[in-house]
């Protein structure tokens, strides 16, 4: 049963200035939580949390922000005596260009930061719930379709994406060890491609890239022939799933896919976005080589999330795109 209220709970959110992290903070505050957000702005943006920083000094705001690198032991950046009821570890570069530009920072934040946060809980507050933001990239270029949680994946351990894929896999291992061997309540969400307002238009992910190019009346950058597929989840659906995963009883040690199974080829994605932004114009494509180790298909098997969380995404692709496009227009 989900106790979907965070009323008066203390929640530590790492990566709070990021795309997903900032939406999580908004949702947690709306449920009455006291949120400590931590971020070092390696890929996040201050503007994602400006509305929260502005209210930080109000005693009732419930939000406090710490600019710090979460790879360091939490004792070094958290106020003494901090005992979070929940830790949502969302800090990590997430886009392929983003993590490939910062490979060491990426593997450290998914591995060493996960270890340090869990060791901190072990010492200070072992009753807390720890939720790790893993990724569909742990499935690599999957040979099973759609991907269920039991699938172990098909990952290149020494490829251009491995600083991310393999460190997320190690992060999962670290959660498993702290649950099995030390009794902590660790939980893992494997997030599939998510989009929405506040996603960084410059970070190279396909939806912001196509929206940015369409709004600028430029040809859309298509990798390869565009037959590779992705399944896109709107951010409010993802946040709802994450909060349910954190609060549903009896899920310590569990791993759950969170994504929208509505699958589209990249070419089709370009066509839909073009149609929403420039319906009277002909679609122009700028075909560029497929990046190395680019997965050919990605689609979550969501049956475990449906069964255990009673969660299923509800925002359609077109509706989510409309909201995202409107947001991008206000950012120009
Ligand atoms: P994002 O880059 O927008 O946000 C990540 C945030 O983490 C940024 O604000 C960044 O500055 C911060 N950060 C990174 N390293 C840090 C460190 N050492 N110390 C403090 N802060 C640090 O990315 P996002 O899309 O919001 O992704 C959030 C999480 O969800 C990541 O863990 C990512 O791997 C995971 N995820 C996201 C998606 C997606 O489609 N958005 C898919 C799968 C997994």
How crowded is residue 285: how many other Cβ atoms within 10 Å of its Cβ? 15
Distance CA 77, CA 260 (A): 36
Question: Is there a contact between 204 and 269 (Cβ–Cβ < 8 Å)?
Answer: no
Question: Does position 291 have pLDDT exceeding 90, yes or no?
Answer: no
Contacts of 213 (CB under 8 A, 6+ apart): 219, 220, 221
Which candidate, 69, 151, 155, places its Cα nearest to that of 106? Answer: 69
Query: Cβ(18) to ligand 1 under 6 A?
Result: yes
Contacts of 58 (CB under 8 A, 6+ apart): none
Average pLDDT over residues 105-111: 98
Task: Kindly give the number of the ligand 1 atom that is closest to the alpha carbon of 16.
Answer: 9
| 37 CA → ligand 1 middle, Å | 13
pLDDT digits (tens, 9 = 90+) for 187-233: 999 999 999 999 998 888 899 999 999 999 999 999 999 999 999 99
Question: What mean pLDDT, rounded, does the chain reach?
Answer: 94
Q: Which of 139, 164, 195, 232 is catalytic?
A: 164
- Which of 44, 97, 256 to mutate for ligand 1's pocket (most ligand atoms within 8 Å of CB)? 44
| 283 CA → ligand 1 middle, Å | 32
H or E element: which one contains 180? helix 162-180
* Closest C-alpha residue for ligand 1 atom 17: 69
Average pLDDT over residues 34-46: 97
Which candidate, 71, 170, 73, places its Cα nearest to that of 113? Answer: 71
* Closest C-alpha residue for ligand 1 atom 29: 90
Distance CA 103, CA 228 (A): 25
Annotated catalytic residue 164: yes
pLDDT digits (tens, 9 = 90+) for 46-86: 999 999 998 776 767 799 999 999 999 999 999 999 999 99
| pLDDT value of position 57 | 67
Instruction: Tell me what percent of the residues of the chain surpass a pLDDT of 70.
Output: 98
Distance CA 110, CA 190 (A): 13
∠ CA 239-157-292, nearest 5°, is 80
Average pLDDT over residues 294-321: 95
Confidence of residue 332 (pLDDT cuts 50, 70, 90): low
């Amino acid at each position: 049963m989900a106790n979907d209220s965070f009323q008066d709970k203390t929640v530590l959110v790492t990566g709070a200035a990021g795309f997903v992290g900032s939406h999580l903070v908004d949702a947690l505050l709306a449920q009455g939580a006291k949120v400590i957000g931590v971020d070092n702005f390696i890929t996040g943006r201050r503007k994602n949390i400006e509305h929260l920083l502005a209210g930080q000094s109000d005693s009732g705001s419930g939000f406090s922000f710490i600019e710090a690198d979460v790879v360091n032991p939490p004792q070094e950046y958290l106020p003494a005596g901090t005992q979070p009821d929940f830790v949502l570890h969302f800090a990590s570069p997430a886009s392929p260009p983003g993590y490939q530009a910062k490979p060491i920072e990426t593997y450290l934040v998914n591995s060493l930061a996960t270890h340090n946060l869990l060791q901190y809980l072990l010492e200070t507050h072992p009753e807390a719930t720890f939720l790790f933001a893993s990724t569909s990239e742990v499935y690599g270029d999957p040979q099973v379709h759609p991907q269920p949680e039991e699938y172990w994946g098909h990952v290149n351990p020494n490829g251009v994406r491995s600083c991310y894929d393999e460190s997320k896999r190690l992060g999962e291992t670290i959660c498993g060890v702290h649950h099995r061997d030390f009794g902590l309540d660790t939980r893992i969400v494997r997030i599939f491609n998510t989009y929405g307002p506040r996603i960084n238009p410059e970070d190279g992910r396909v939806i912001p890239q196509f929206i940015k190019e369409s709004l600028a009346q430029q040809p859309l950058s298509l990798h390869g022939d565009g037959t590779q597929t992705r399944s896109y989840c709107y951010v409010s659906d993802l946040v709802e799933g994450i909060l349910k995963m954190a609060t549903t009883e009896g899920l310590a040690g569990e791993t759950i896919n969170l994504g929208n199974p509505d699958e589209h080829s990249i070419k089709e994605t370009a066509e839909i976005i073009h149609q929403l932004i420039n319906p009277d114009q002909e679609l122009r494509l700028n075909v560029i080589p497929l990046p190395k180790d680019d997965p050919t298909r990605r689609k979550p098997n969501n049956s475990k999330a449906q069964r255990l969380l009673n969660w299923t995404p509800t925002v359609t692709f077109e509706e989510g795109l409309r909201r995202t496009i409107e947001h991008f227009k206000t950012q120009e």
